[in-house]
Structure 1
Amino acid sequence: MSGVTNLTVLVDDEPTPDGWIKIGKDLNAGAGGAYLYFAYEQGSGAPITNIIFLLSKDESAPPSYHRIDVDLNKGAGGAYIYTAFTREAHLGSPIEDLDVILGDNSGIQPQAPWRRIDVDLNKGAGGKYVYLVYRNA
C-alpha cells in the first residue's frame, strides 16, 4: 500500500521535488498574493494520518506534528494559516490521496469517499473558498 508520506507548500514557481505530485490549484485563488500549491509524496514509508491548520503565525504544532512554515495567505492579507501534519497511527487513518477544491461558497463538498478539512484556506482574504480534501486508504 502506498500512502501520502510527505507534504509541502510550493511558493510561486518553486519546482516540484523529484517524485512528488503537485496539486495544480492555487491556494490563494482569486485573493491575489503569492501563488501557493500543495505538493505531496507517496510511498511505502510511514503515511501521514492527520492534517491540521494552525490559525496564528505564533501557534506551535502539537507534539508529533510537523509544521510547514509557509503562510497559506502569503501576500493576500487574511488570516495566518499554517499547515501541520503527523504520521502517528493513533491520530488518524493513513491518508492515501490529497486534492484541493475551489468554490464560490463555503458549502462545497467533495464527492465520497473524499473528505474535506473544514478550514477555508483563503479565510479573511476574499477570493474563492479553498479546501484541502483527502481520501483514506
Structure 2
Amino acid sequence: MAIEGITALATFSDKDEVPGTYKLIDRNINSKGKALYLAYEHGLGSALTNLVFHLAWAQKSTYYTVLKKNLNDGVHDAIPFYLAYTKETEEGSKAITDIDVIKVGDPLPQGFHKVDLNLNISVPGGEALNLIFKTA
C-alpha cells in the first residue's frame, strides 16, 4: 500500500552531490570529521517507519536498511556508527513525513519526535545534535 511520506534517506559528503529529487538537511552532522549531510526523498510509496543508529560491530540487521557512511567518518577514536531505517509496517506504525537535525537541548518543533542519541556522542568537542522526525 502506497503511503505519503519519506521514501528514501541518504548521506552525502558534499551538498552538490544531492540529487534534485532529494531535500537536503543543511547541517553538517559530522562537525569534527569529514563533512556529512542527510537528505531525503518525499513522495507516495513505501515510506520509512522507524529510524535507529547501528554500531559498526553489531550483527547485521535483516530488518533495517543501514546507510553506508559512518556518521563519525574521519574522527580519530570515535565509535563508528550508522543511521538505519525500516519501511516495515506493523500495527500502529506510522509513516515518517519529515526529518531534521537540531542542537541537543533545543525544543522539539510541534509534532516531532527525537532519536534519543547525540549524533556526535563519541566525538570530543563535536556539536551535540539530535535527529528528529515527524510521523503521519
Give the TM-score range, shorter chain.
0.7 to 0.9
The aligned counterpart of 1:2 is 4
The aligned counterpart of 2:110 is 112
- TM-score, length-scaled by structure 2: 0.87
Residue identity over aligned pairs, in percent, reads 31
- The 5 Å alignment of 1:1-137 reads 2-13=4-15, 15-29=17-31, 32-55=32-55, 57-77=56-76, 78-90=78-90, 92-103=93-104, 107-125=105-123, 126-137=125-136
CA distance in 2, matches of 1:61, 1:93: 24
Corresponding residue SS for 1:111: coil
Is the 8 Å Cα contact of residues 9 and 37 (structure 1) preserved in structure 2? yes
CA distance in 1, matches of 2:60, 2:14: 25
CA distance in 1, matches of 2:80, 2:16: 21
Q: Deviations over 1:44-72 (max 9, x none)?
A: 011000011012x2324432311111110
CA distance in 2, matches of 1:116, 1:40: 17
Q: Segments of 4+ in structure 1 off by > 6 A?
A: none
> What are structure 2's unaligned runs of at least 5 residues?
none
CA distance in 2, matches of 1:6, 1:24: 17
Q: Return the offset for 1:118.
A: 0.7
CA distance in 1, matches of 2:61, 2:118: 20
Number of residue pairs matched?
131
- TM-score, length-scaled by structure 1: 0.86
Q: CA RMSD in A?
A: 1.8
Query: Which amino acid letter does the alignment assign opposite residue 118 of structure 1?
Result: D
CA distance in 2, matches of 1:60, 1:38: 24
CA distance in 1, matches of 2:126, 2:53: 19
Q: Deviations over 1:70-116 (max 9, x none)?
A: 1101112322110111101118311000000124xxx3441231111
